[in-house]
């Protein structure tokens, strides 16, 4: 069909891949969201003060990626105009049907609310210290309340804490559910595994922590301010430990498959050694997992200078993101390259300028960074209320 190279025998309808690079992007983006949020919760709930400089940045990063996360799905649908039906008439036995609800809950019930509560005092101050459209924008964001008295901020803080506590299982739910979408497909032995949601959650944490660490380091460099090494060292330490758990889980899955050697094993093993060798063995495991783990391990045990640690973290962070993207690729694309008859293999042909092509994927990957840039401009993570000239009106007891 369409000149797609096939080896062995595929059921005739299997030759064309159904889920493209856009479906690879979807778990990658939601993983970054969940991971960034869990990093933010370290400071808020678990009182890890060292990571405080990344707290707000992590929240904004999560929001930027969450806003883009549904776009690849929308672009992939045969009938995007019908996507609202998932909200209106959800099929309750479908894992995918719950996406809309989990997504909306996480976006509106957790992330936006937490960001608003955390930024509220800044928003009130900005609504008075800025002019023009910005003033109007911040005025709207205050939602009519300019009360930033100590008592009011204390309440904000308490509510924010509760939301973060609820947010942690929500973040797990958001990404665990993505893993479940794949893990619950019994027709596909490459996907079908109860470990899938857990592996997805831990890989999400790995990618989110790495992304926030990289964004923080980049922003410090761009703003020409020194990197808080205590913060980055702590983030890197969490990245290292989370990565170890993630890799252990993946190894457990692998060992289980090898030892059990069920009917699908020979077919999958052949695929991993041929069609999936480069993205799976070389990119995901060697380059994207073992190398960053070894680099991070070196920073934990060897006396490395600050300058070299920064470089090591930057390299390890980038490789981590490459590795996690490769993991998503290997799950989504790898799961469609072999026949459910276990007798053959097809090929994924990715277009460049196509609805589900490489160009769209690149745009969708970069888009969250632009959104993050805009969010940082509007809600600077390093803005502290006390450093601004707060007008008496704002600090007074306003409309409670």
Partner 1 sequence: MTITRRQLLILLPAAAIAWDSILAGTPEASPNYNMTDHWWGMLIDVTKCIGCGTCVQACQAENNVPDGYFRTWVERYHVADWSIENPQVDSPDGGKHGFPPAAKEGGKNFFVPKMCNHCADSPCTQVCPVGATFVSPDGVVLVDQKYCLGCRYCIQACPYGCRFLDPTTNTASKCTLCYHRITKGLTTACCETCPTGTRQLVDLKNPNDPVHKFIETHSVQVLKPHLATQAKAFYYGLDGSVR
Among 75, 141, 185, 388, binds partner 1 (CB under 8 A): 185
Q: Is 149 in the site for partner 1 (CB under 8 A)?
A: no
For residue 53, what is the DSSP state?
Answer: G
Residue 262 three-state SS: coil
Q: Are the CB atoms for 333 and 17 separated by under 8 Å?
A: yes
Contacts (Cβ under 8 Å, ≥6 apart) of 305: none
Four-point Cα dihedral 321, 323, 325, 331, nearest 10: -150
**How many residues would you count in the chain?**
400
- Residue 178 and residue 10: Cα distance in Å, rounded? 27
Position of tokens 């992939």? 76
Binding mask 322-351 for partner 1 (x = CB under 8 A): -------------xx--xxxxx--------
Q: Is 393 in the site for partner 1 (CB under 8 A)?
A: no
Q: Is 386 in the site for partner 1 (CB under 8 A)?
A: no
Q: Is 307 in the site for partner 1 (CB under 8 A)?
A: no
Q: Is 89 in the site for partner 1 (CB under 8 A)?
A: yes
Q: Determine the straight-line distance between the first and last CA of the chain, rounded to whole angstroms.
A: 66
- In the complex with partner 1, the residue whose CB is nearer, 189 or 323, is 189
- In the complex with partner 1, the residue whose CB is nearer, 57 or 73, is 73
Instruction: Please report, as residue ranges, which positions from 40 to 69 form the binding site for partner 1 (by CB under 8 A).
Output: none
CB of 175 to partner 1, least distance (A): 18
Among 3, 5, 47, 78, binds partner 1 (CB under 8 A): 78
CB of 361 to partner 1, least distance (A): 17
Stretch that binds partner 1, among 90-98, 154-162, 225-233, 275-283 (CB under 8 A): 90-98
- In the complex with partner 1, the residue whose CB is nearer, 74 or 145, is 74
- Residue 141 and residue 144: Cα distance in Å, rounded? 8
Q: Is 90 in the site for partner 1 (CB under 8 A)?
A: yes
Q: Three-class SS string for 128-179?
A: HHCCHHHHHHHHHHCCCCCCCCHHHHHHHHHHHHHHHHHHHHHHHHHHHHHH
- In the complex with partner 1, the residue whose CB is nearer, 4 or 258, is 4
Q: Are the CB atoms for 61 and 212 separated by under 8 Å?
A: yes
Q: Are the CB atoms for 229 and 311 separated by under 8 Å?
A: no
Q: Is 95 in the site for partner 1 (CB under 8 A)?
A: yes
CB of 180 to partner 1, least distance (A): 11
* φ, ψ (nearest 5 deg) of residue 338: -105, 155
E strand map for the chain: 7-8, 344-345
Q: Which residues in this chain contact partner 1 in the complex, by CB under 8 A?
A: 1-2, 9-14, 16, 18-19, 73, 76-79, 82-83, 85-86, 89-91, 93-97, 99, 181, 184-188, 335-336, 339-343
């Amino acid at each position: 069909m369409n000149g797609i190279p096939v080896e062995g025998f595929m059921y005739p309808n299997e030759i064309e891949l159904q889920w493209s690079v856009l479906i690879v992007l979807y778990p990658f983006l939601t993983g970054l969201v969940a991971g960034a949020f869990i990093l933010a919760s370290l400071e808020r709930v678990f009182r890890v003060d060292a990571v405080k400089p990344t707290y707000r940045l992590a929240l904004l990063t999560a929001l930027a990626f969450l806003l883009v996360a549904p776009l690849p799905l929308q672009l992939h649908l045969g009938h995007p105009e019908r996507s609202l039906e998932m909200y209106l008439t959800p099929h309750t036995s479908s894992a995918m049907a719950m996406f809309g609800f989990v997504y909306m809950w996480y976006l509106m019930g957790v992330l936006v609310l937490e960001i608003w509560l955390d930024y509220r005092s800044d928003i009130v101050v900005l609504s008075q210290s800025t002019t023009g459209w910005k003033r109007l924008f911040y005025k709207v964001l205050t939602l009519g309340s300019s009360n930033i008295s100590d008592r009011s901020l204390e309440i904000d803080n308490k509510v924010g804490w509760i939301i973060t506590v609820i947010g942690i299982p929500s973040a797990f739910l958001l990404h665990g559910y993505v893993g479940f979408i794949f893990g619950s497909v019994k027709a596909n032995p490459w996907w079908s595994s109860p470990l899938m949601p857990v592996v997805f959650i831990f890989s999400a944490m790995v990618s989110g922590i790495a992304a926030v660490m990289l964004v923080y380091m980049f922003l410090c460099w761009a703003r020409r301010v020194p990197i808080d090494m205590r913060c980055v060292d702590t983030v890197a330490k969490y990245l290292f430990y989370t990565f170890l758990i993630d890799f252990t889980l993946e190894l457990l899955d692998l060992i289980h498959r090898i030892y059990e050697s069920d009917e699908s094993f020979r077919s999958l093993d052949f695929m991993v050694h041929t069609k999936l060798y480069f993205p799976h063995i070389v990119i995901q495991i060697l380059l994207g997992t073992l190398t960053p783990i070894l680099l991070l391990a070196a920073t934990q045990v060897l006396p490395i200078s600050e300058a070299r640690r920064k470089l090591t973290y930057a390299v390890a962070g980038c490789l981590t993101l490459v590795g996690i993207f490769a993991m998503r690729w290997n799950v989504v694309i790898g799961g469609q390259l072999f026949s459910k008859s276990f007798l053959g293999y097809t090929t994924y042909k990715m277009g460049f300028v196509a609805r589900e092509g490489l160009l769209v994927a690149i745009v969708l990957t970069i888009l969250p960074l632009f959104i993050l840039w805009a969010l940082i401009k509007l809600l600077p993570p390093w803005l502290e209320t006390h450093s601004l000239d707060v007008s008496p009106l704002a600090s007074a007891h306003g409309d409670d």
